[in-house]
């Protein structure tokens, strides 16, 4: 799709309709640092603020977001931190094990399943409009990793609840809207409830500048490419090791990516992220999404 086609679809509203269908489809189906990723910062009180703009799908890709599930929990044999194979429509041994626990009838087993359940993340390209903590980021394109709470706000913008509200496509250059990201610390976790979209407006008035931004976007498809996932057998072997069913193999220091899933300790920055992914920070909706999946494995 050319840039002119992108603008034409914006005027026709066809992109918005297409994205709404994808949202409905999502709802009906139940590490080392990356300098491409933008992360908001908070002050000592746990408050943060920034203004970002969600960008259209990268050239050659269909959607402006990608949805990824992962597992992150600790067992007697260390940490399991891996992408969940359900992200690419495949069977996942961790989810299957969780399903057995959930349907055992034991409250204790259900609690274990909650702690090991898959966590949901989305990735999109964004343009940073305002970043008071890091002004150098302003006017640049980044990848943004976010959760269900923010995606719900995107969905609400495309499918407003009330008749007096007009739907918008937040990912549109011309008829989209800036997103005011407001972070508060609630019960020890980041809370995004106060975040909101502004009134619709063009990101910039110059189409050439917009096209330049579009061409700087990063691929989203890479997050669900085959090399991002272990095979079923590899993940099952890792799960057995973490649960203490097999002896852990010595860590081979020649593999730079081994620390994330074989070493017994977790770096401080990763530990902080895991805290934000813990079950106590997830909404009831996210619990329902993950746990209903366990049930579906048994019913299938």
Residue 8 lies in a domain: yes
The two three-digit tokens of residue 236, written as one number: 């099952």
State the total domains in the chain.
1
Which one, of 239, 173, 159, 184, lies nearest residue 208 by Cα? Answer: 173
Determine the pLDDT at residue 255.
33
Q: Residues of the chain with pLDDT > 90: what percent?
A: 67
Q: What domain range includes position 175?
A: 3-67+120-224
Exposure b/e, 112-122, CB count within 10 A at least 16 = b: bbbebbbbbbb
Q: In sequence order, which residues have a C-beta less than 8 Å from that of residue 50 and are 6 or more positions away?
A: 40, 128, 130, 131, 132, 133, 180, 181
CA distance linking residue 54 with residue 65, whole number of Å: 9
Determine the pLDDT at residue 251.
44
Residue 160 lies in a domain: yes
| Least confident range of 46-60, 81-95, 115-129, 286-300 | 286-300
CATH number at residue 187: 3.90.198.10
Residue 188 lies in a domain: yes
Within 10 angstroms of residue 248's Cβ, the number of other Cβ atoms is 14
pLDDT digits (tens, 9 = 90+) for 89-142: 999 999 999 999 999 999 999 999 999 999 999 999 999 999 999 999 999 999
Determine the pLDDT at residue 33.
75
Determine the pLDDT at residue 278.
45
Determine the pLDDT at residue 256.
35
Residue 23 lies in a domain: yes
Exposure b/e, 52-85, CB count within 10 A at least 16 = b: bbbbbbbeeeebbbbbbbbbbbebebbbbbbbbb
Determine the pLDDT at residue 293.
52
Distances (CA, A) of 296 to 91, 98, 253, 262, 287: 12, 12, 40, 30, 14
Q: In sequence order, which residues have a C-beta less than 8 Å from that of residue 266 and are 6 or more positions away?
A: 79, 81, 274
Sign for the CA dihedral angle at 142, 143, 149, 151 comes to positive
* Mean pLDDT, rounded, of the chain: 84
Q: Does the pLDDT at position 144 exceed 90?
A: yes
| Least confident range of 51-65, 70-84, 205-219, 256-270 | 256-270
65 in Cβ contact with 122 (< 8 Å): yes
Q: Residues of the chain with pLDDT > 70: what percent?
A: 78
pLDDT digits (tens, 9 = 90+) for 180-202: 999 999 988 999 999 999 999 99
Residue 91 lies in a domain: no
Q: Roughly what angle, to the nearest 10 degrees, separates helices 207-215 and 3-12?
A: 110
Q: Does the pLDDT at position 228 exceed 70?
A: yes
pLDDT band at 264 (very low <50, low <70, confident <90, very high): very low
Residue 207 lies in a domain: yes
Helix (H), strand (E) at residue 19: helix 14-28
Residue 144 lies in a domain: yes
């Amino acid at each position: 799709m050319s840039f002119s086609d992108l603008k034409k679809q914006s005027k026709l509203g066809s992109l918005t309709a297409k994205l709404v269908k994808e949202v409905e489809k999502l709802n009906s189906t139940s590490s080392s640092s990356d300098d491409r990723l933008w992360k908001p910062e908070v002050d000592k009180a746990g408050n943060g603020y920034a203004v970002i703009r969600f960008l259209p799908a990268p050239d050659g890709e269909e959607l402006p977001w990608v949805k990824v599930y992962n597992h992150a929990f600790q067992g007697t044999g260390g940490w399991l931190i891996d992408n969940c194979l359900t992200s690419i429509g495949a069977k996942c041994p961790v989810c299957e094990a969780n399903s057995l626990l959930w349907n055992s009838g034991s409250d204790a087993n259900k609690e274990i399943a909650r702690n090991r359940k898959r966590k949901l993340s989305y990735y999109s390209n964004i343009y940073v409009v305002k970043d008071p903590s890091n002004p150098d980021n302003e006017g640049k394109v980044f990848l943004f990793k976010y959760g269900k709470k923010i995606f719900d706000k995107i969905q609400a913008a495309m499918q407003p609840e009330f008749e007096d509200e007009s739907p918008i496509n937040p990912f549109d250059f011309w008829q989209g809207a800036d997103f005011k990201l407001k972070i508060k610390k609630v019960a020890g976790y980041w809370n995004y409830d106060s975040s909101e979209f502004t009134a619709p407006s063009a990101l910039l008035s110059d189409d050439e500048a917009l096209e330049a931004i579009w061409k700087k976007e990063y691929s989203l498809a890479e997050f669900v490419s085959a090399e991002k996932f272990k095979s079923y057998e590899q993940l099952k072997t890792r799960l057995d090791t973490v649960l203490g069913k097999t002896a852990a193999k010595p860590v081979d220091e020649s593999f730079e990516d081994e620390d994330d899933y074989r070493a017994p300790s977790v770096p401080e920055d990763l530990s902080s992220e895991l805290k934000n992914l813990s079950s106590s920070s997830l909404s009831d909706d996210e619990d329902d999404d993950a746990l209903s999946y366990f049930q579906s494995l048994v019913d299938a």
